[in-house]
Amino acid sequence: MINDNQVFKISKLFRLQWEPAQKAHVLLYPEGMVKLNDSAGEIMSRIDGEKTLNQIVSDIELRFDTKGLRDDVISFIEIALNQGWIKSEVE
């Protein structure tokens, strides 16, 4: 179960970067690349091993001047965890 104070970091096998040719954030790994959509890129760019889930959600809501994104962020975090793109700093 994911909680508001949980911290995540990108797994060592992956590297996040902006790819101008793709016009998107991508996750690079030894066998290839995962092109992220805009929402996923916004979330992944905030996963730094220091920010809590609550801080990530607040930062995105402030950036886009909206509220109520927590469930969407958690849904993506769950996908990223299952894919092995990220891991939790607090197990």
pLDDT tens digits for range 3-50: 999 999 999 999 999 999 999 999 999 999 999 999 999 999 999 999
Say if 3 falls within a structural domain: no
Dist. CA 16–CA 48, nearest whole Å: 10
Say if 32 falls within a structural domain: yes
Say if 15 falls within a structural domain: yes
Q: Where on the phi/psi map is residue 65: left (φ > 0), alpha (ψ -120 to 50), or beta?
A: left
CATH at 36: 1.10.10.1150
Say if 2 falls within a structural domain: no
Closest by Cα among 75, 83, 91 to 14: 83
Say if 34 falls within a structural domain: yes
pTM of this prediction exceeds 0.75: yes
Q: In sequence order, which residues have a C-beta less than 8 Å from that of residue 66 and are 6 or more positions away?
A: none
Closest by Cα among 54, 58, 55, 45 to 86: 45
For residue 26, what are the domain limits? 8-88
Number of domains making up the chain: 1
**According to the model, what pLDDT value does residue 89 have?**
80
Say if 80 falls within a structural domain: yes
